Amino acid sequence: MKTIGSYLIERLQAFGVQHLFGIPGDYVLGFYDLVTHSKLEMITTSDEQGAGFAADAYARLRGLGVVCVTYCVGGLKVANTTAEAYAEKSPVVVISGAPGMREREINPLLHHKVKEYETQKKVFEQLTVASTVLNDPQTAFQEIDRILHAALRFKRPVYIELPRDMVNVCGIAHHAPMVIHEESDPGTLNAAMVEAVDKINKARQPVIVADVEIHRFGLQEALLQLLEKTNVPFATTILGKSVVGEQHPGYLGVYEGAMGREEVREYVESSDCVLLLGAFMTDINLGIYTAQLDTSRCINASSEKLSIGYHCFEGVRFKDFFRGLVAANLKTRKLKKRRSGSDHKAGSDNCQSGPRVGERITVKYLFNRLNSFLEDDTIVVADVGDALFGAADLFIRHRTEFLSPAYYTSMGFAVPAAIGAEIADRRLRPLVLVGDGAFQMTGMELSTAVRYNLRPVVVVLNNSGYGTERHIQDGPYNDLLRWNYHRLPDIFGAGRGWLVETEEQFDAALTEAADHTRSFSLIDVRLEPMDRSPALERLANRLAKRL
């Protein structure tokens, strides 16, 4: 008979999981030992939050990620990363060891306990789409299947608590539950399709804005079919950037209100039919609410809602509506030659052919130069702040090769997420864009990169503080101690580091980093405190005009 722990491992493997991320602790050691003797590989990070971010990135690339920690002191440290996964629809399985059921009988004050033994589960009930405690061998297998199904169905995190004395207890076999395929109401779906097709076909200048749910629900191929069938041009949001490759001839660029390029904003907002597919209407996606989208001209389809103009349609699944569009009798447009997102590969904001000797580096030059650094195997992982805003202008060649926490915007995501991304797909080499404030939170996960032979290129935008906040409201609270980031390879005994203050130094450092594939590369870019990317500049100028 199978034990509860071995069945959980078996089911994770069945869904394509090959790695778990976490930190060991006594309440979870028994399960760790089972993992060690399975085909799964345990990736031990430097901190639980790093493990959570790595598992999140792994889930975004592989479809399911797992973070495995001990009770409360470990579990509550991944509460933030789980909240991000929930907000951005990333299916992460949180597995937490817990005190054994027998040792709880007289309610002793066991270490790590907070208030009640159920306290941690109550917390995670607010951060996940489903949760369970595997405390009953008669129902444990069924609970595991229920929880994993919920993660995959809703593309959101789930929580499994495993008391340490239940790991090796044999469970009761059950008939695997049938996968529930929710179906749309046929009448409502048909009415929505009729109205949507009529609106699209009558439009003079329709446009598609593609967002992250297309990736989460595996609809990239369906989107490509829709694009090829109709020749309707498309943009993405910053959260959905790289949902399909940006070399597509119909690609306009990133639409993000005033933060985006003016030609993209103007094209989308002048459209008489904006087809929002899987979109999160967040303040970041909408350029801090500088976007001007007329609801009457929009078709908004996501897993949360379907609305066409001011009409709302209940009981229609996103996948059904999307596939209905692909199959519908939609007009084929003539693909017009226009300046697309791919035209910005060479850096249209700065047309210099090379670095200027002795010229101090700026954020603008940095991002223009990075465009020529990107290769087919590069995955860009951007942290919060100007690292994210500036990265919106980068040219991403293939689908799902840009990761960021562009909705929840938790600092410290990028370095550990790069670890999860490279482990998820060893063919990819991460380019990590991170501010010095975010790096000081989780940058020590480069130690994990060394341990597991990973090779990210980390560019630290070092302006000695929280740069984005400085542009909102400046004060001494935004200042940071300036670290010598480029000296970290001396600490880790691996990797290479560069200190960069000029355009010429940055160009040389990138060239050398591209060739250094034995370990990580870290480029410490010293920037002026108030320097900012063209994207942040565009937003500031647009907001100033509204005052």
Closest residue by Cα to residue 426 from 371, 495, 379, 370: 379
What integer pLDDT is reported at residue 50 of this predicted model?
Answer: 98
**Banded pLDDT at 106 (limits 50, 70, 90):** confident
State yes or no: pLDDT of 344 exceeds 60. no
Residue limits of CATH 3.40.50.970 in the chain? 4-163, 345-544
Mean pLDDT of 156-164: 97
- Dist. CA 480–CA 375, nearest whole Å: 33
Provide Rg for the chain, Cα atoms.
Answer: 24
- Dist. CA 8–CA 35, nearest whole Å: 10
**DSSP of 19-41:** EEEE---GGGHHHHHHHHTSS-E
State yes or no: pLDDT of 396 exceeds 90. no
Sequence length of the chain is 547
What integer pLDDT is reported at residue 472 of this predicted model?
Answer: 79
**Banded pLDDT at 435 (limits 50, 70, 90):** very high
CATH of 186-341, picked from 3.30.9.10, 3.40.50.1220, 3.90.180.10, 3.40.640.10, is: 3.40.50.1220
Overall fold of domain 345-544: Rossmann fold (3.40.50)
What integer pLDDT is reported at residue 242 of this predicted model?
Answer: 87
What integer pLDDT is reported at residue 285 of this predicted model?
Answer: 60
Closest residue by Cα to residue 69 from 86, 89, 34, 44: 44
Mean pLDDT of 55-72: 97
State yes or no: pLDDT of 341 exceeds 70. no
- Dist. CA 68–CA 299, nearest whole Å: 40
- Dist. CA 432–CA 443, nearest whole Å: 11
**Banded pLDDT at 287 (limits 50, 70, 90):** low
Closest residue by Cα to residue 436 from 479, 492, 496: 479
**Banded pLDDT at 291 (limits 50, 70, 90):** confident
What would the pLDDT profile of 527-545 be if each residue is shown by its tens digit?
999 998 887 777 666 655 5
Instruction: Retrieve residue 348's tokens.
Output: 């249209």
What integer pLDDT is reported at residue 542 of this predicted model?
Answer: 61
pTM (2 decimals)? 0.91
State the angle between helix axes of 318-327 and 220-230 in degrees (0 to 180), rounded to the nearest 10: 30
Closest residue by Cα to residue 57 from 14, 15, 10, 19: 19
Amino acid present at 57? A
Residue 67 pairs in a beta bridge with 21, 94
Residue 19 pairs in a beta bridge with 41
Amino acid present at 409? T
CATH number of 4-163: 3.40.50.970
- Dist. CA 87–CA 411, nearest whole Å: 15
Q: Which helix (H) or strand (E) holds 538?
A: helix 534-546
What would the pLDDT profile of 175-193 be if each residue is shown by its tens digit?
765 555 678 999 999 999 9
